[in-house]
Amino acid sequence: MTNILAILGTPRKKNTFQIINRIEENIKELDDEINFEYLFLHEYKMDFCKGCFSCILNGEDTCESYNITKEIKGKIEEADGVIFASPVYVKQVSALMKNFLDHFSYLVHRPDNFDKAALAISTTNGSGLKNTLSYLEDTTKTFGFNFVDKFGIMKYVYEKGGKETKKANEKIKNISRDFLNRIKSKKHNSPSLNELLHFKITRLVIEFVRDLSPIDYDFWVKNGWYEKDYFVDVRIKPFTKLLGKMIFSSIEKQFLKEE
């Protein structure tokens, strides 16, 4: 059985939900061994993040909201693929989605979930899709997820029918197929220059502040990342590798000089 979890940052079963339904139908057409679960964030009475840094410094289980976040964390752990879905609210993800991501911000320091494929989905009345989808892509990649693709649409375009709806359904079909393929293959894309630099710079900073935050440093050591070229074993394009080395070396020099 393949487990797919859709995390929805909307309190309504309407536009975004409708797109997720389509994805579920498409995936189930390709594979009848799918367990597809919907997680509605509004059903979890999660306080706003208090900004105490405890999840980062002392471990995620020390968060005041851990009684709630541990259930979500458990569902993510069981999933082979996770869909992050949010409507556009004032040009960004909804507060429900943002508050959920804030509670998992320790993953920026201790990324995990490399074995889980991820999709980002959004809907809007007109504006903000680009921002919202880029934010979800960037955040889920930083959290460690194996990001596959993003898709968003204006609700009126989708509801109108005709050519545009047909085009959107085609795209949904394609991302559903790609998502399922990635879940099965678990293959990772070769990192971009930015992704490679993110790895190298985070590793440097984590080592630098190891006395302040030993939990992060121990995590990186435990994962063998001080001996590896990247988070996962994947081929890095030679030019990206070379450029990454050069840029990082100048950043490192600057960083150490300032201390």
Ligand X SMILES: Cc1cc2nc3c(=O)[nH]c(=O)nc-3n(C[C@H](O)[C@H](O)[C@H](O)COP(=O)(O)O)c2cc1C
Q: Residues interacting with ligand X, by CB under 6 A?
A: 10, 12, 14-17, 87-91, 123-128, 155
Q: Which is nearer to ligand X, 10 or 202 (CB)?
A: 10
113 within 8 A of 144, measured Cβ to Cβ: yes
Q: Which is nearer to ligand X, 15 or 142 (CB)?
A: 15
* Least distance from ligand X to the Cβ atom of residue 89, Å: 4
- How distant is the alpha carbon of residue 211 from its chain centre? 28
Read off the tokens for 224.
Answer: 């063998």
The contacts of residue 89 (CB under 8 Å, 6+ apart) are 95
* Least distance from ligand X to the Cβ atom of residue 148, Å: 21
* Least distance from ligand X to the Cβ atom of residue 27, Å: 19
Q: Which is nearer to ligand X, 92 or 223 (CB)?
A: 92
* Least distance from ligand X to the Cβ atom of residue 152, Å: 9
Amino acid at 67: N
Write the Ramachandran bin of 51: left for phi over 0, alpha for psi from -120 to 50, otherwise beta: left
Q: Which is nearer to ligand X, 16 or 213 (CB)?
A: 16
Spatial distance between the Cα atoms of 15 and 33, rounded to a whole number of angstroms:
26
* Least distance from ligand X to the Cβ atom of residue 3, Å: 23
* Least distance from ligand X to the Cβ atom of residue 26, Å: 18
Q: Which is nearer to ligand X, 157 or 201 (CB)?
A: 157
Dihedral of the alpha carbons of 19, 23, 24, 27, in degrees to the nearest 10: 170
Q: Which is nearer to ligand X, 17 or 84 (CB)?
A: 17
Amino acid at 193: L
Long-range pairs, 217-221, Cβ under 8 A, ≥24: 219/109, 219/110, 220/110
Which helix (H) or strand (E) is 119 found in, with range?
Answer: strand 117-124
